[in-house]
Amino acid sequence: MPSQEELFEAVDALLEGEPVLPPPAERARLREAAGVSQTKLAQALKSTPQTVKNWENGRSEPRPPRLQAYLRLLEGWAERYPAAAAVAAPAPRAFTGTAQPPAPAAPAASVTAAPAPAAAVTAAPVTPAPVTAAPASAAAAGPVPVVRAASRRPARRRVVPNIAAAPYQHGPLAVLDGDGTAYGVEGIVMDCPATTVAELVEWTLKESGLGAPALNRNGKDSDPLVVLTSAAALRLGLPERLEGPEARRSLRLPEDHPVVKELVRAKWKLTQRGFGPWARVYRPAQAGQRRCVQLAVLSWDALDARAWPGVTGMEPADIARVLGTYAARVLTPRGSTAVSGLELMTALRPPTRAVKNETTGQWESGYNPGSLGTEPMDPAPPEAPCEHPVAQGWADGFLDEEAYQWVRDVDLLSDEECLRPYAVGLDINTAFLAASARLVVGLSGPDHFHAPKFNKKIPGSWLVDLSHIELDPRLPSPFTPSGLRPEGPAWYQTHTLAYAQELGFDVTPIEAYLRRETGAYLDPWHDRLKTAYVDTLADLGVTAELDDRQFLAAMERHQRVDPGMAAVLAAIKATVKGGVGKLRERPQGRHYRDGERWPALERPTWRPDIRAAVISKARVNMHRKMANVAKATGQYPLGVLSDCVVYASSGPSPLDFLPYTTSGKPLPGSFRLGPTPGAAKVEGVQEMAWAVDLMEKGLNPARHIKGGDAVLDEGE
C-alpha cells in the first residue's frame, strides 16, 4: 500500500500541472485595460505582434518559456483590472504544444452582418461542463476558470481570411487529413471542403491563406504547401501507394491517371516531374502573381525516414508543427532535404534583381551581384565527374576532394594505446556547414593557366605534385581522402594547397583552372542554417551556456526530450549534407550513357567546384585539429570517417583525453565540445579491444563506433 506521503506528492504533482491561461477574449481585455498595444507586448515577450494576435483570438497558444511569462503578466493585470461582473467563463485545457488552440469566448453580436466565411478555422476540442456559481469572495477577482473535459469532436470557429491584406496569415503549410481537416502551424485548424485535387489547389490559393514571404527582397515568395495523409490522398482520388513497376520506377502517376486528366481539364499544369511524392500544380503567373501549389503525399514516402525520423507516423497536427518549425527556420520544404538545401541557396542569393534601364527608364531583370546567375556553367575538365561531356577524352586526372575514409595501420598502435579500455568517437557538428562559413568560391567560369603562381585567395583547381611531402603516418595525409601519401602530380582545390603552405611546404602549380569573379556565395546559407541548428538544439535543452559535462549529459538525452524537435534537427543536418551533395548531382537511370547531358547540368547551382571547396576546407579543418591534439598530448586517431574521429581513451568520455589549458578551457585549435557547427559531440563509445579487432581486419572503427554496425551519416 502507498504511504500517505507518497499519495500527497502524487496529488501535488497533479495540482501543479501545466499553467492554465484565461480565455482568449479575457487576455485581450486585460491587455487593453492596461493600455498596452500588441506590438509592445510582443516586444516584451520577444515575440511578434501577429503571434500575440493569435493568442488573443484563440488561433494559437504560447509555449514555454513565454507561457509562464505571459501567465504571470495576465495574473498581474487581473489583480489591477478585475472584470466588472463575476461571470463564470470557460477556460481552456492545458496546452500541449501539438494539439489545437483553445476555443475563444463567444463574441458579442455585431450590428453589421459578417461576410460569408471563406475558410473555417477549428479551435481546441472542448466538452461543455456544468458551471457552478462563483463564491462572493471570487467575484471581485474576475472570471472563475472552469476546467472542461476534452472531446474528440472539435468545436469550430469561422474566420474570413483577407488574403489581399495578409496573404500568408495562416502560415506556410497545412497537413490535410481524410476528414477534410487541414492542420496548420501554431495550432491552426481549417476546414477544407475539397474532394478533388483541382478543388484543393483552388481552395489553397483562394481561401487557405497559406504561403510564406521571400527570404530575400529580390527573391520569390514560397508557394503554399499542402501535405496529404494517406486518408487525404484516398479522399482526393489518389492511390495510397504508387502501384505498378512504371509508377514505382518513375515515382509519379501515369499521364492517363484520372487525377492527372482532371487537372488538365481544369487547365492546371504539372512540372516535368509529373505527379509524384512532391508535385507542383500551377498555372502561368498572372499580373506578376504566382499561381502554384506544392503537394506532398506522405504515403508515397515524401518524407524520407532518414531525414525526418518518425514524422510520417505522427498525428497530422504534430506533422504540421514539425514541418512548420522547419519552414520558419529553414524554408518551406520543396522536396527532399537535399532539394531544400539547394533551393535555400537560391532563395537567399536570388540570381536576378530589378535594374533600371538608364536609356528607357524602365525596370528590367538583371544580374544580382554575389549570386550564381541564371545560366548553367560547365566546370573545368578536372572538376567534372567522368560522365560529363567536358570530361570525355580527358586523361590528365580529376579533382579528388572528398571526405576522409582512413584507418591507421594497426602496427602503428603503441602498447599504451592498446591497453586503454575505451575507444571514443567524436563527431563534428555539421562539419560541411562550418566549412562553408566565409568560404570564397568562384562565381564565373574557369580560365586555364599554365605554371601560375599559387595564391590562396583565388578559388580554383591546381595541378601540383605533393608526393615529396612526408608526414607522420599516425595521422592521415591532409591531401587525399584515403589519408595516404600522394603518389605524383594531382589536382587540388585551393584550400588543400593553402594548408600545405601553412604546414611549411612549397607549392608550385604546373597548371590551374581559376575563376576571376569570386564571392562568399554560401555565407547567408551558412548563417541561416547555423541559427536553425543552434535554436533547435536549444529547444532540446542543449545550449551554449552549458559547461562540457552538462553538454555531454544534455546530448545523451536530447533526442528523447521532444521527438518532433529531434526530427527537425535531423532534417536540418540532412539539409546541409544534401545541399552540398546536390552541387555535384550525378546522372541517374540505367539508360544513361557517358557523355550525355543530364537534367541537373542545366541548373546554375550545379557547381562541383563549390562542393569541392566545402569538402576540402572541412577535411583540412579536421586534420588541423588532429595535428594540434597530437602536438599537445601525443595522442593520434585510430580512424577517421568524414567528420567522425576515434581516439583511444582511459575513460568513456572525451573529457578523459581532450586537451585543456591550465584555466580549464579547451586547447585552442583542438577539438572543442559544444552545440555550434564545427564543435564536437560524442558519436559513440566502445571497448578498445573492439576497435583493435576491427583495425586488424582493415576495417574503420569510425564507421561502426555508433554501434549496431551503423554507418556514419557522412558530412552532416
Map 226-266 to HEC letters: EEECHHHHHHCCCCCCCCCHHHHHHCCCCCCCHHHHHHHHC
Show contacts of 603-607: CB within 8 Å, 24+ apart.
603/376, 604/351, 604/372, 604/373, 604/374, 604/375, 604/376, 604/377, 605/342, 605/345, 605/346, 605/372, 606/376, 607/372, 607/377, 607/379, 607/441, 607/583
Q: Give the whole-angstrom CA distance, residue 58 versus residue 123.
A: 7
Contacts for 584 with CB less than 8 Å, ≥ 6 apart? 385, 606, 607, 608, 611, 612
Contacts for 176 with CB less than 8 Å, ≥ 6 apart? 182, 183, 192, 200, 226, 227, 228, 229, 232, 316
What are residue 588's phi and psi, to 5 degrees?
Answer: -125, 155
Between CA 173 and CA 177, with CA 176 as vertex, the angle to 5 degrees is 155
Between CA 161 and CA 173, with CA 167 as vertex, the angle to 5 degrees is 90
Q: Which of 232, 271, 239, 269 is nearest to 253 (CA)?
A: 239
This prediction has a pTM of 0.78
25 vs 122, 125, 136, 679, CA distance in Å? Answer: 16, 17, 23, 47
Q: Give the whole-angstrom CA distance, residue 407 versus residue 476.
A: 8
Bridge partners (DSSP) listed for residue 492: 462
Q: Which of 564, 500, 532 is nearest to 433 (CA)?
A: 532
What are residue 579's phi and psi, to 5 degrees?
Answer: -65, -45
The pLDDT score that the predictor gives to residue 519 is 96
The residue count for the chain: 716
The pLDDT score that the predictor gives to residue 50 is 74
Between CA 645 and CA 569, with CA 562 as vertex, the angle to 5 degrees is 45
649 vs 106, 184, 414, 552, 646, CA distance in Å? Answer: 65, 49, 13, 16, 9
| Residue 442 near residue 459, CB atoms below 8 Å | yes
For residue 222, how many other CB atoms are within 10 A of its CB?
Answer: 25
Q: Give the whole-angstrom CA distance, residue 639 versus residue 404.
A: 9
| Residue 155 near residue 125, CB atoms below 8 Å | yes
Q: Give the whole-angstrom CA distance, residue 283 versus residue 206.
A: 14
Bridge partners (DSSP) listed for residue 680: 428, 673
The pLDDT score that the predictor gives to residue 703 is 95
Q: Mean pLDDT, 10 residues at a time, over the chain (716 residues)? A: 61 56 87 84 82 78 82 87 56 37 38 39 39 36 35 36 66 95 92 95 93 94 96 95 65 92 95 93 83 96 95 95 97 96 97 89 91 95 96 95 96 95 97 97 96 97 96 96 96 98 96 96 97 96 94 94 96 98 91 92 97 98 97 96 96 95 92 96 96 95 82 46
Bridge partners (DSSP) listed for residue 228: 176, 297
Pairing assessment for the beta strands 405-407 and 639-641 based on DSSP bridges: antiparallel
What are the structural domains of the chain? 17-98 (1.10.260), 173-335 (no CATH), 360-716 (no CATH)
The pLDDT score that the predictor gives to residue 683 is 96
The pLDDT score that the predictor gives to residue 13 is 52
The pLDDT score that the predictor gives to residue 193 is 93
Bridge partners (DSSP) listed for residue 660: 666
| Residue 41 near residue 33, CB atoms below 8 Å | no
Pairing assessment for the beta strands 225-228 and 289-297 based on DSSP bridges: parallel
Contacts for 707 with CB less than 8 Å, ≥ 6 apart? 684, 686
Coil, helix or strand at residue 491: strand
For residue 431, how many other CB atoms are within 10 A of its CB?
Answer: 28
